[in-house]
Structure formats: C-alpha cells, structure tokens
Structure 1
Amino acid sequence: MASEAKKVKLEDTTTVTGYIHNVSVVKVSALKKNKYFNAVIQVSRDDFCDVVVFSVEKRMLFLQAQNCRSAVRLSGVSKEPSRSGEGVDVLCGRRTDVAVVTDVTFSYREPPSKSKTTVSEIRKMSARQHIGEVTVRIVHLKAGTDNVELQGRPVETQSVIVQDGSGKIRLQLWESQVGQALFGKTYKFSNLSTREFNGELFVTTTRQTSIEQVGPLPGLGAIVSCEVREDPVISVCGEVIRAEVAVSRTCGNCRCAQTEFQPKK
C-alpha cells in the first residue's frame, strides 16, 4: 500500500478481520492457469494488507462486503512475504471462511492506493515504495523476455522503458503482465512498487497491478525516441538432438515451491 499507510505485520494466526476494498476481476495465472482475484483488507485504522483469493466462487462475498462496507472475518487464511516489499500478503483458498462481524474497533477508511504520481516524483523515491497510479507511454521494449527463479519456480519477466512529461524510468513486467504493453501506446498502471539494483531505481509490477490502455498524454510528441544500449538478440538455427524437461511443483494456495511431494495413492 501507499507509504503513508504502512503494511501491518500479522501475527501467526489463520484469522484476519477488517474491511474489504479494491476487489479485482477474476484473473488467470500465466504458468499454472489458476483462477484468482485480488483485494485489499483494512486491518486497523491505518493498516492495509493485500489479499489474493484462489477460490473465485468467494468473489461475490468479497464484493458484497466491499459494497456494503461491512467488516468481515477471514478464517483459514495463510500469508507470505509481500511482493511489494512491505509486510505480508493474505492468501485465501477453498477452506477460507468469510463471515460478517460487528465487533471491529476501527471505522471504515478508503486505502490510499489510487494516489496519482509522475515519473519525476517516482525517481525521488527510495526503494520498496508503493506507487498508487501512474500514466506513461511505452518508449522501449526489450527484445525478448527473461526467465528468473522466484520462490523455487521459473518466472517470465520483461523490461520496458516508460515516459511521461516529466521523464523516463525502467518498468519490470512479470508473468501475466508480459506482453500487455505495446510500443508507443499509453497505459495507466496501478499498484506498482519501486526497486533498486546496482544503483538504478526502477519500477516493478506486483500481483495487484492493473494495466489499462488510455489516450495519449498531452505534451508528448508523436515521435517516440529512446536510446537504450542492450545486448543484441542472437538467433540460432539447427537440429534438436535432445530435450530435457524439468518439473517443479507449486502449491495452488500459497504459490510456494514444494520440495517434498507425496503423490496420491
């Protein structure tokens, strides 16, 4: 969430209580093709946690709680370190129970996740800061994508350069977001996070990131110009004489790699 509303550290519990916000549409994971949706839960007056729900039939319950501004108790949840860099994500599955409660000690408050910003403002941030919303044009797409290991499984990522009227910055796309941004088009990105590597500050998407194509930004010319030095793409042609297949197992609920796997008998 936004820097002025810090992420709360949950205790070792399977129950979370609070108000539901920002219920997303149903999405499909790039690797496992699992359906899920995102939300945000307000767990105190100023603290918010990102929620990932892998049981899409519960989406109506989340929408009802959001629209009625009713506090709920989520029982049977798990948690993992947040991809935004602060606190934890709350993970809900088929065994999660959603119940309306009235004994909360804080009032409903909108999360500060829709605050608009610019590239120049982002470049003044430190690493691991939340970005509510930014509208930019894609001025460079890296030729090809990369695969990196994250939590024990390979994940596809793509690097792009984005620009608004105040400047340019690198944006890292992950998994299902790869390929959504087209060269020369303008997009509104919501729920991003800053990172720093080798002295370079850049922006990365998160599980809660949404991408919406919008009209051109005022003040930017029609000609897209961006000089980026990168290694050329090398194409190799030849006969395939051997192929190896690596199998990795990931929990459908917590998304963590499973090193010890007991097949069903």
Structure 2
Amino acid sequence: MATPDKKMKMLDDTETVNGYLHEVSPMKYSRNNVKYFNAIIQEKDKYTNSVCFRPEFHQNMVQLQKQRSQVSLRKVDRVPSLQRSGDFDIKITYSSDLSTPKKSLDFDFQPPPSQNQVQTINHIKESLNAYQKTNVHVKVVQIGQVQTKTVRSGTSVSCQDVVVADKTGSITLCVWDKQTDTYSIEESYSMQNISVRNYDNINLASSKKLRTVGKIIMNLHASSFLRPPGAGGTAKPIASSHRGYPN
C-alpha cells in the first residue's frame, strides 16, 4: 500500500496538457483485453503521441477533434516513448480528466505534418502510431498472392501483400479489394492515404482507402533498398504475416 509521501509524489509526477486532438484512433484491445485508443496531441510547439485507457473518453475526443476544439487533459503522465528514443508519450489513465482549458490557447489547430507530407519508410517505422495516415513514394520489390480474408463485419474481402521500398527501408503494404493485382515489380508509385498498422511490434501499411496517384520515376538503385529475403525482379509469393483489416 502506498504511503502518504508516495501518493503525494505520484500526484506531483502527473501534469496538465493543453492543445488540440488529431488522429483519434478506433477503439483497440490489448492482449489482456484492455480497451484503449491512440491520439496525437498538438501542444504549442510539438505533436505528442498519446495512449488513452479511458474508453468513455473516446466518443468525446472524436467529436472534439472534428470540431477542432481546444482541450485540457489533467493528471496525465509523460512516459518514455516506445518508438522514439529519448522522447516521451502521454498516458491518459482512469485518474485523468478531460475538459476545456481555463484560458484560450494562443495557437491554432494545425494538422500534423505527416497528414500532408511524403514520409520515408524509416520514418513510418520509427515515428508513426497505428492508424496514423501518410503518403509515400515507393518502388514495388515483391508481390504476394491474392488471398481472401473475413473481416470483422463477416464479409469476405480479397487482399494482397505487396513489399515496397525506398532508400531508407522496406515495408509490407496490405492492399484490399480493387487495389489487388494493380501493381508491378520494379515499378515506382506515389501513394496517398496509407494507414499504419502494428502487429506483434511489426509496422505494416494497410488501407482499403489507399489512393495511388500514379506511377513515378524513382532514381533508386536496387542496392539502396533494404530488401526482404528472397525479393527479386520477379513476383514471388509471400506469406501473410498479419491480420490486417480494411478501415
């Protein structure tokens, strides 16, 4: 049982964060079946990843994001980031409160840069949370077989794993429905609206709403790619290593 001194220290370690909400994720479940969701909090001079363990906040935070409303989160914890060394994320617990700031903020709502800018694969792996969306310029290095999966709604949907790469690394892109069998080995593409997924600590890109702007020319040498084992100039089947769902 915590002593009064320890309880006081725990209270001192919490803080209040004021800002705007972005990219509030759908509700998720941990391996222990604990409900949680993610969001990005825009503070005055930075964007901070957060995880919220108060499911009753979810609908309210979704609306606050849509309305671009100012928010104040009290009694939150800053915890070491699991994705960026030396950085901190915000942890929202059952002790946290959600309200409106006592004073109007002196900065405006601005979407995170990742929503508009082209990002490298390395940045996606190191910095983006599950359900964050981004744009990429990539080359296709491996194509898997089209499979049929049953999604949460019970509907059967075709999907296909496509390994894409840039100069910083490679990642598996799971494409769905009409996007299957539309890509070619060694061709380069500009893609928008890619949504990040995370399964067993492996980042994947997956989106039913993926938009391929078109083929592009990328002056990249094959040796620059961090290719997956067995990836070559011809299509080879790859095993599906995840349970991606179209969003």
TM-score by length of 2: 0.52
Do the aligned partners of 1:161 and 1:169 also contact (CA within 8 Å) in 2?
no
Match of 2:51 in 1: 52
Answering whether residue 27 of structure 2 is matched by residue 26 of structure 1, we say yes
Residue type at the aligned position of 1:25: P
Unaligned runs of 5+ in 2: 1-11, 145-161, 184-190, 217-221, 231-247
Residue type at the aligned position of 1:43: E
TM-score by length of 1: 0.49
Residue type at the aligned position of 1:65: L
Percent of residue pairs bearing the same amino acid type: 25
Unaligned runs of 5+ in 1: 1-10, 143-159, 174-178, 193-203, 232-265
Secondary structure at the counterpart of residue 113 of structure 1: helix
Residue type at the aligned position of 1:75: R
Structure 2: how far apart are the matches of 1:210 and 1:56? 25
Alpha-carbon RMSD? 4.5
Residue type at the aligned position of 2:95: R
- How far off is 1:215 after superposition? 5.5
Match of 2:35 in 1: 35
CA deviations on 1:110-164 (whole Å, 9 max, x unpaired) are 1222123165xx68x8x9677972345764489xxxxxxxxxxxxxxxxx8414x
Do the aligned partners of 2:174 and 2:205 also contact (CA within 8 Å) in 1?
no
Go from structure 1 to structure 2 and tell me whether the alpha carbon gap of 1:93 and 1:70 turns closer, same or farther (over 3 Å shift): same
Match of 1:107 in 2: 107
CA deviations on 1:192-249 (whole Å, 9 max, x unpaired) are 9xxxxxxxxxxx74xxx873133556338xxxx9995749xxxxxxxxxxxxxxxxxx
Structure 1: how far apart are the matches of 2:229 and 2:75? 47
Residue type at the aligned position of 2:23: N
Secondary structure at the counterpart of residue 60 of structure 2: helix
Do the aligned partners of 1:69 and 1:108 also contact (CA within 8 Å) in 2?
no
Structure 2: how far apart are the matches of 1:172 and 1:22? 22
Match of 2:8 in 1: none
Match of 1:116 in 2: 117
Structure 1: how far apart are the matches of 2:89 and 2:58? 17
Match of 1:218 in 2: 214
Structure 1: how far apart are the matches of 2:228 and 2:90? 40
Residue type at the aligned position of 1:49: T
Which structure shows the higher helix fraction?
Answer: 2
CA deviations on 1:11-58 (whole Å, 9 max, x unpaired) are 9533212222221211233x33332211111221x3121111122211
